Chains A and B, each alone.
Chain A
Amino acid sequence: MKIHEYQAKALFKEYGINVPPSILCEENAKIECSIEKIGCPCVIKAQVHSGARGKAGGVKLAKDYDSAVKISNEILGMELKSSQAGVKKVNKILIEQAVDIDRELYLSLTFDRANECIAFILSLEGGMDIEEVAKIAPEKIHTDFIKKEFNPYKLVQKLRLSENISLKISEIAQKLYKLLLEKDATLIEINPLVVTKMEEVIAIDAKINFDDNALFKHEDILSLKDEKEENPYELQAQKDGLNYIKMDGTIGCMVNGAGLAMATMDVIRLAGKDAANFLDVGGGASSEKIEKAFKLLISDKNLQAVFINIFGGILRCDFLAEGVKNAIKTLNVQCPVIVRMEGTNKKQGAEILNNSGLKFTVVNDLNKAIEVIRKI
């Protein structure tokens, strides 16, 4: 789960990490008095779940009061386009005191899959796209894999900064490490972490991602979820207990199991089309859940056809058939529905579909499915 910068900064404060004074604005009315309180120069920052906000025009420095008001009104409500997250409407802005920057660093703590431990990453090339730095100048990125005790000072020393600053950065890293483990965060990134001329170290950006599987432990984190940032289809799916991701294609698909669902999308591509979604209905889906899943699928206006690919192990084919039949009847579905069922109670499932009086194209294997989908 992702959270906004202002929410991440509130967590930073809770853990004793320096952030600049700021005020969150959700409507134009508050803007003027917020700017007065914060003072100028200040930075106006769009609060959307997206990287590269600066490049997209969502982060701007205002030198005086008038330009701060003007910029705030421009950013609040704008459609922010970024390569990472597509187009997003800006519903909230953060008005933040500008910081007197001497150096910009990069600092992150993240779960590293290859080493199955937490990685501590530092660089003097703060403020830049770190993946770009990793490509061009990997020697400028310092990484430590935390296998036992976390001792940040060793890595911080590699930056060759003053003793005072190094100690401050180490202290921040320790605090972030505590936050990471206590809240099950999979990523905490500060880019840039700023050193001021007065040798203060301040986080002027903050990004935290949390482990979805651990949210049951953290009601406080779960309450930070911003539903407006989620795709409405995906939000509905979450509420129905379905594993669904919206895609750009025209063939809706419903599958049990994540691996088979991905393979089914690949099969659709082999037929010269693209999947409209990823949907894993899971192992023990009931016919009611199948019906909900089907409703969700056909609410997509770009849909040309639906391909149902089920390998019944725990999920019984007759349950599936019952759910699909009911959904098609109640929703008056017009687009072609292609069904491939295999496994537990396949015969009973086929009977239900055949006796329903509805039109299905039943195929026996994936190659047949490719043939049928290609002709749509």
Chain B
Amino acid sequence: MSIFINEDTKLIVQGITGKEGSFHAKSCQEYGTKLVGGVTPKKGGETILGVNVFNSVKEAVIEVQPNTSMIFVPARFAASAIIEAADAGIELIVCITEGIPVYDMMNAKKAVELNGVRLIGPNCPGLLSPEKSKVGIMPSAIHKKGNVGVVSRSGTLTYEAVYQLTQLGIGQSTCIGIGGDPIIGTSFIDVLKEFQQDEQTQAICMIGEIGGTSEEEAADFIKQCVTKPVVSFIAGLSAPEGKRMGHAGAIISGGKGSASSKMKTLTNAGVIVCKNPADLGSTIKQYI
């Protein structure tokens, strides 16, 4: 089993005719994901990567019945693209776009919740289940099929963890980047819940960072509901207060959201916390 995506995932890409959109749509297709179409307003009728481009998600849903959409449209239009996908009946929306205004996202999240749709991201690398499906921008080659579930707020730091695992011969069940923004569709808890139920997943690697309280909430959930071993790293122990560290969500403000408090809370919840990101792979190896 894998979570959220599998061999039956039927993908459309919103913004497929753009440089990034087409590049990554192709990479997902090459990985084996069933790409069934793309959406770019005013470019309906064109074909790209052997699939049709539609003017709207609604049209695509009628014509090619996708269940998943990956969004690459520019930040100023991305929230509307999420709402469009949610209204059109897409089940899983993966939004890669970075830099969406927070109030736009507040509205988009309401639409997603109203429709009962799963949104991953925004500002995330997407997700990949080795040998099954890829809906994201991560380098495919570093992944290997196996039993570790990886969940993270960051992109390249996730690749680092996955790479270490694969180098040690440890495979992954599903790898998910949930995104670095203040408002995201899927939380650590949502993913932990799925990993706990997923038979393929034997251990969980959870990578957090400074800002917000999602790691603390996850710690609470792990304490009560997760029986599988969880190994964690929290980035930003050396980050100063009041500075936004790249991600819109990675900021320590009013003394809240520091790495040390997150590490402490996770440790108290029974999570194995690595201080050195270089030790993630070898630490997980002890629990697999």
Q: Which residues of A contact B109 (CB under 8 A)?
A: 116
Q: Which residues of B contact A116 (CB under 8 A)?
A: 106, 109, 182-183
Query: Judging by beta carbons under 8 Å apart, are A258 and B101 in contact?
Result: no
- How many residues in A have their beta carbons less than 8 Å from beta carbons of B? 51
- Listed stretches A54-62, A65-73, A155-163, A310-318; interface member: A310-318
Contact of B101 among A213, A261, A343 (CB under 8 A): A213
A131, A255, A260 pick with most chain B CB within 10 angstroms: A260
A186, A269, A311 pick with most chain B CB within 10 angstroms: A311
Per DSSP, are chain A's interface residues mostly helix, strand or loop, or mixed? mixed
Closest-CB distance, B231 to chain A (whole angstroms) = 15
Contact status of A274 and B139, CB under 8 A, knowing A116-B183, A267-B276: no
Contact status of A267 and B243, CB under 8 A, knowing A117-B106, A275-B238: no
Contact of B240 among A117, A213, A247, A259 (CB under 8 A): A247
Contact status of A258 and B278, CB under 8 A, knowing A186-B102, A311-B159: no
B246 at the interface (CB under 8 A from A): yes
Contact status of A261 and B246, CB under 8 A, knowing A111-B182, A117-B106, A216-B76: yes
B152, B237, B277 pick with most chain A CB within 10 angstroms: B277
A10 at the interface (CB under 8 A from B): no
Query: Judging by beta carbons under 8 Å apart, are B237 and A269 in contact?
Result: yes
Q: Which residues of B contact A181 (CB under 8 A)?
A: 103
Cα–Cα distance between A275 and B238 once the two chains are bound (Å)? 8
Closest-CB distance, B239 to chain A (whole angstroms) = 6
A:239-273 near B, CB below 8 Å: 243, 245, 247, 255-263, 265-270
Query: Judging by beta carbons under 8 Å apart, are A270 and B275 in contact?
Result: yes
Query: Judging by beta carbons under 8 Å apart, are A343 and B235 in contact?
Result: no
Question: What is the size category of the interface that chain B forms with chain A?
Answer: 35 or more
Q: Which residues of A contact B259 (CB under 8 A)?
A: 266
Contact of A370 among B158, B163, B278 (CB under 8 A): B278
Cα–Cα distance between A256 and B139 once the two chains are bound (Å)? 14
A217 at the interface (CB under 8 A from B): yes
Chain A residue with the shortest CB-CB distance to B159: A311
B155, B156, B275 pick with most chain A CB within 10 angstroms: B156
A375 at the interface (CB under 8 A from B): no
4 closest A-B pairs (Cβ-Cβ)?
A259-B154, A258-B246, A257-B156, A259-B157
5 A-B residue pairs with CB within 8 Å: A211-B101, A245-B240, A258-B250, A270-B276, A367-B279
